[in-house]
Structures are given as structure tokens and as C-alpha cells.
């Protein structure tokens, strides 16, 4: 049997063996030099062995056991000789772990003068580091749970957050915004009011949308902004306005993202101006997401999101929102109108395939991309009406749709659409199972090569801000910091 076989994963490791050798030697009053002489090796070699830095050969272990007057089994025992030895061993293992070493902590020799309670404190801290790391390294299931809890909160509040609306109201008043579309100059005025200057950089880290230098009160943005440049500025400022600290877990990270996006939307489409606009449209039975988009010069998705914030609170209209990738995957969802979207076993909508007969999927097959697409869809929970549009991004095409129950359709432009569909979202045979004739013809004659999503088996990116390369961010800030 080799030493490697003796020191397998179920038995003692080299560090444990080294510690037992040291303790047995000390108990016998033998110096390191004396043991080295007895086995015919240099003291430095024995020192490395006792410190677990070298795996001993089996012949060496036998020689050491003989010199110490004990058997080979005594050196390979899995249990520590005493409680103190066990503590030292556990601390040394913790200090050598990749997780602690990644923090820049170097292992050190534990002398007898280090009290037991100090060793226990080190172990507790190491365990807490592991716990926080595991908590932040959210698995896809943990992320879905966090997202589900956040969506439930949004539903309870009808996706309306009064404190965020007040923040937006105060900021707009501070810069003298009269209402209506927020100009880029007004967005810059908000930054100046908060004590920040805006800087556009060609080398912004690719894992970020913006970077805030809190020391010098600077906001860095990419030179080439995809989408509305005002949104990038306002989202960057939102965390400062809301006093966000480093998120403690993935749930807090998601909540902060929602708050940032909400506040940016509330600044772009102010409640005090938008509500009268929407109420007047309801009185005319002419509510239109396109009109809201055009009135405030925002994207269709921004207008749709903002409508969900205000619809139930101010118009007494329950609503649902979907963003669906061209692959059919639901990427964002909100509902408080009892629409029955497909869910996984946890109740999460995001990540599920949208029914191909639902408006959000049908719209991809419509040639007319200039006008919105409207459709009534019969479901197990009643009939719903939706308006949808396709938008493009670096991640591909997405459809964005807003829908209401049949009884609320009377308030909307597009209610006279002739398009009809039938969908049973939660029923597999609705569209996720092929028709019987197709299945019979091809079941045993087809073999697709699946394009597996790269995130299917991977955990979410770790860190306080998942997916962000903090080393790259710090190097960027160092390079762009103003010189004294």
C-alpha cells in the first residue's frame, strides 16, 4: 500500500500526520534534531513533514514510528491526540483553504502561547466567511426563490412604492422640472444637485453599466450608450439617492436593482404629471402604452413598466406584464390580475417557456413591426387582452407586452382587434406537447442537438455585485481618478 492510499480522503491528511508526529515527539521530550538524526534525515525535512508541507513516504513513516516507540497506526489515526491539537489542526486547515487565501490571508505557525479561545474565534470567522460566500453564490434555484419573493412583494403593493415616488418628486422639485419629458440636461442637473459629475469613458469595465467613484463624486458611463442615455445616468444615481449599501445577499441585490429601475422610471415619467395624462386617456377610453412612450420620450419597455406602477393605484386596473425572449423564454414578469402564467415547482415564472399561442409569442410572427399588436386570448382563468411590441437588444429580440382582464379592455386603444387565441398556460398539452399527428410521425425519427444555455448548470456569479469583476472596477477607478 502506498502513502497516498493510506492518506486517502477518508483518512488523515499530510497535515494531520505531521501534527501527530510533532505531538508524539514533544510528549517524549525529543527535539526535532534528535528525531531527524534517529531517522537519518535533515531537520529541515522533518520540519516540512511536521508542518504538512510534504507528503511522507511510507518508509519514512515507519522509521519515525520506530524512533518514537509507537506503531504506524498511531501516526495515521484520524482523531487528534487531544483537544488543543484538534483546534490547531482545524485552524491550520482553515488558513490553508483557498477561500481564506483568496482574501490574502497567509497561514502562520500557531505557537503554544495562542490561547484556545483565540483559535475558536478564528474558526468561527472562517465558518462565517464560508457561509457568506455560499449565501452569495446563489444557485439558480436560490435565485428563483429570491425573485419569487420579490415578485410577491410587488404584487401585494400593486407594484407601487410610495417612498420611491416621493424621492422622485423631491429630486424633480430640486432641479425645477416643470413636468413632461425629462431632458438630458435635467438628468445632468439631478447629478449636479447630488454632488456628482458625469464622465464618459471608452474603457468602462464590460461587466458594468456604470461605475461610481464615491471618493471623488464621479459617475463614469460608457461612451457608447445602448438605449436611453438618461436611464443610464438616473440608474447610476438612484443607489446614491436611496442610500444603498453593499448587498448582503442575492435577495438584497435584486431588491436594489428593482428600486434603482423604479426610481429612474419615476423620474422619467413623473407620477404627478403622468397620472392626469392616464386618467384623461381612460376617460376617453384611449389608454395606449405607445402614447405614454411618445409623451415622455422613453422606450416601449420603460413605458410598459411605468404603466404597471400606476395602473392599479391610480386607474383601478389590474394588469400583467411580460418580457419574452425570441426563444420563447420568459425573462421578466409581473401580474396582479390573476393571469395564469406557467411556473416551475417553486412558483417562479421567469425562465419558463411562454405559451406559443400567447400574444407575447405570436407577435414575433407578425410582419408589421411599426404598429403594436393586439390580441384577445381565452385562458382557463378567463379572457385577457394584450398589447405587444418587439424590441431588439444585444441579447437578441424580445417582446414586451401589457395585458388586462376582458372587463378592463374597454379603456384601451386596440380593443377592437380581430385577433383571437386560446391558451392554457399551465397545461403541457396546450403547446409544449406536439400535436398527436406530428408526434406519431416524428417521435422516433428526430434527434435535435440542444443548444444548452450556458447558465443551466452553473451557479450565479459570486460577489456582492454578482457578475461584476471588482478587480477590473478598482483598476479602472485608479486609472481615472483625478490627480492631486
295's grid cell: 409623451
**What is residue 9's predicted lDDT score, i.e. its pLDDT?**
43
- Per-block mean pLDDT, blocks of 10 residues, the chain (484 long): 46 73 85 88 84 79 87 74 78 79 76 86 85 63 80 93 96 92 93 94 87 90 82 90 83 89 96 97 97 95 96 97 91 92 80 88 92 93 94 87 97 96 70 74 72 51 63 81 81
Tell me how far apart the alpha carbons of residues 94 and 123 are, in angstroms, rounded to a whole number. 7
For residue 134, the surrounding DSSP H or E stretch is: helix 116-136
| Closest C-alpha to 193, from 170, 216, 212, 211 | 170
List, in order of start, the domains of the chain with CATH numbers. 1-81 (1.10.260.40), 150-268 (1.10.10.2910), 287-445 (3.30.450.20)
Cα→Cα distances 440→22, 296, 431, 436, 450, Å: 73, 53, 16, 6, 21
**What is residue 386's predicted lDDT score, i.e. its pLDDT?**
97
Q: Look at residue 51 and give its three-state secondary structure.
A: coil
**What is residue 375's predicted lDDT score, i.e. its pLDDT?**
97
Name residue 324's beta-bridge partners: 330, 399
Q: What are phi and psi of 318, to 5 degrees?
A: -75, 150
421's grid cell: 387565441
**What is residue 193's predicted lDDT score, i.e. its pLDDT?**
96
How many CB atoms are located within 10 Å of the residue 457 CB?
A: 8
**What is residue 44's predicted lDDT score, i.e. its pLDDT?**
84
Degrees, nearest 5: CA angle 228-474-264: 25
pTM: 0.71
Tell me how far apart the alpha carbons of residues 86 and 92 are, in angstroms, rounded to a whole number. 10
60's grid cell: 519514512
**What is residue 428's predicted lDDT score, i.e. its pLDDT?**
56
Beta carbons of 380 and 423 less than 8 angstroms apart: no
How many CB atoms are located within 10 Å of the residue 11 CB?
A: 13
Task: Quote the radius of gyration of the chain (alpha carbons, Å).
Answer: 32
Tell me how far apart the alpha carbons of residues 480 and 219 are, in angstroms, rounded to a whole number. 11
Beta carbons of 300 and 289 less than 8 angstroms apart: yes
Count of all residues that appear for the chain in the document: 484
**What is residue 198's predicted lDDT score, i.e. its pLDDT?**
93
Beta carbons of 171 and 190 less than 8 angstroms apart: yes
Tell me how far apart the alpha carbons of residues 19 and 25 are, in angstroms, rounded to a whole number. 10
Cα→Cα distances 286→28, 78, 103, 298, 301, Å: 94, 77, 59, 19, 19
Tell me how far apart the alpha carbons of residues 27 and 410 are, in angstroms, rounded to a whole number. 90
Q: 414: left (phi > 0), else alpha (psi -120 to 50), else beta?
A: left
**What is residue 438's predicted lDDT score, i.e. its pLDDT?**
77
**What is residue 11's predicted lDDT score, i.e. its pLDDT?**
46
**What is residue 348's predicted lDDT score, i.e. its pLDDT?**
81
**What is residue 8's predicted lDDT score, i.e. its pLDDT?**
47
**What is residue 4's predicted lDDT score, i.e. its pLDDT?**
47
**What is residue 143's predicted lDDT score, i.e. its pLDDT?**
75
Q: What are phi and psi of 268, to 5 degrees?
A: -75, -35
| Closest C-alpha to 55, from 95, 6, 22, 110 | 6
**What is residue 258's predicted lDDT score, i.e. its pLDDT?**
92
- Residue 1: Cβ-neighbour burial (10 angstroms; 0-12, 13-18, 19+): exposed
Amino acid at each position: 500500500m502506498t502513502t497516498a492510499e493510506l492518506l486517502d480522503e477518508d483518512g488523515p491528511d499530510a497535515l494531520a500526520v505531521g501534527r501527530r508526529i510533532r505531538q508524539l515527539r514533544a510528549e517524549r521530550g525529543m527535539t526535532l534534531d534528535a528525531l531527524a538524526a534517529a531517522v537519518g534525515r535533515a531537520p529541515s525535512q522533518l520540519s516540512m513533514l511536521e508542518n504538512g508541507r510534504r507528503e511522507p513516504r511510507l518508509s519514512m513513516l515507519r522509521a519515525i514510528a520506530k524512533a518514537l516507540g509507537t506503531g504506524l497506526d498511531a501516526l495515521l489515526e484520524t482523531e487528534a491526540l487531544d483537544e488543543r491539537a484538534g483546534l490547531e489542526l482545524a485552524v491550520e486547515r482553515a488558513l490553508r483553504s483557498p477561500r481564506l487565501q483568496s482574501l490574502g490571508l497567509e497561514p502562520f505557525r500557531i505557537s503554544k502561547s495562542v490561547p484556545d479561545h483565540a483559535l475558536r474565534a478564528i474558526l468561527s470567522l472562517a465558518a462565517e466567511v464560508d457561509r457568506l460566500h455560499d449565501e452569495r453564490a446563489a444557485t439558480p434555484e436560490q435565485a428563483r426563490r429570491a425573485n419569487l419573493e420579490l415578485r410577491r412583494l410587488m404584487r401585494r403593493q400593486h407594484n407601487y412604492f410610495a417612498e420611491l415616488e416621493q424621492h422622485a418628486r423631491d429630486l424633480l422639485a430640486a432641479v425645477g422640472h416643470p413636468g413632461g419629458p425629462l431632458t438630458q440636461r435635467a438628468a445632468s442637473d439631478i447629478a449636479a444637485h447630488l454632488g456628482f459629475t458625469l464622465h464618459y469613458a471608452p474603457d468602462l469595465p464590460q461587466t458594468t453599466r456604470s461605475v461610481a467613484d464615491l471618493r471623488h463624486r464621479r459617475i463614469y458611463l460608457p461612451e457608447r450608450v445602448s438605449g436611453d442615455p438618461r436611464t443610464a445616468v438616473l440608474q447610476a444615481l438612484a443607489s446614491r439617492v436611496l442610500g444603498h449599501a453593499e448587498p448582503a445577499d442575492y435577495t438584497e441585490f435584486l431588491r436594489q436593482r428593482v428600486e434603482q429601475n423604479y426610481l429612474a422610471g419615476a423620474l422619467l415619467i413623473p407620477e404627478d404629471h403622468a397620472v392626469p395624462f392616464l386618467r384623461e386617456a381612460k376617460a376617453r377610453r384611449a389608454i395606449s402604452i405607445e402614447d405614454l412612450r411618445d409623451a415622455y420620450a422613453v422606450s416601449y419597455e420603460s413605458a410598459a413598466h411605468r404603466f404597471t406602477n400606476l395602473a392599479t393605484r391610480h386607474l383601478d386596473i389590474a394588469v400583467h406584464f411580460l418580457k419574452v425572449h425570441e426563444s420563447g423564454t420568459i425573462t421578466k414578469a409581473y401580474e396582479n390580475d390573476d393571469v395564469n402564467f406557467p411556473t416551475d415547482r417553486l412558483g417562479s415564472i421567469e425562465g419558463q417557456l411562454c405559451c406559443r399561442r400567447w400574444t407575447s409569442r405570436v407577435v414575433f410572427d407578425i410582419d408589421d413591426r411599426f404598429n403594436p399588436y393586439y390580441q384577445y386570448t381565452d385562458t382557463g382563468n378567463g379572457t385577457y387582452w394584450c398589447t405587444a411590441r418587439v424590441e431588439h437588444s444585444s441579447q437578441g429580440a424580445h417582446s414586451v407586452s401589457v395585458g388586462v382582464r376582458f372587463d378592463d379592455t374597454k379603456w384601451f386603444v386596440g380593443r377592437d382587434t380581430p385577433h383571437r387565441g386560446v391558451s392554457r398556460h399551465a397545461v403541457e398539452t396546450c403547446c409544449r406537447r406536439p400535436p398527436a399527428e406530428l408526434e406519431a410521425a416524428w417521435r422516433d425519427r428526430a434527434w435535435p442537438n440542444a443548444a444548452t444555455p450556458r447558465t443551466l448548470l452553473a451557479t450565479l456569479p459570486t460577489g456582492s455585485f454578482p457578475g461584476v469583476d471588482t478587480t477590473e472596477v478598482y483598476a479602472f477607478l485608479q486609472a481615472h481618478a483625478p490627480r492631486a
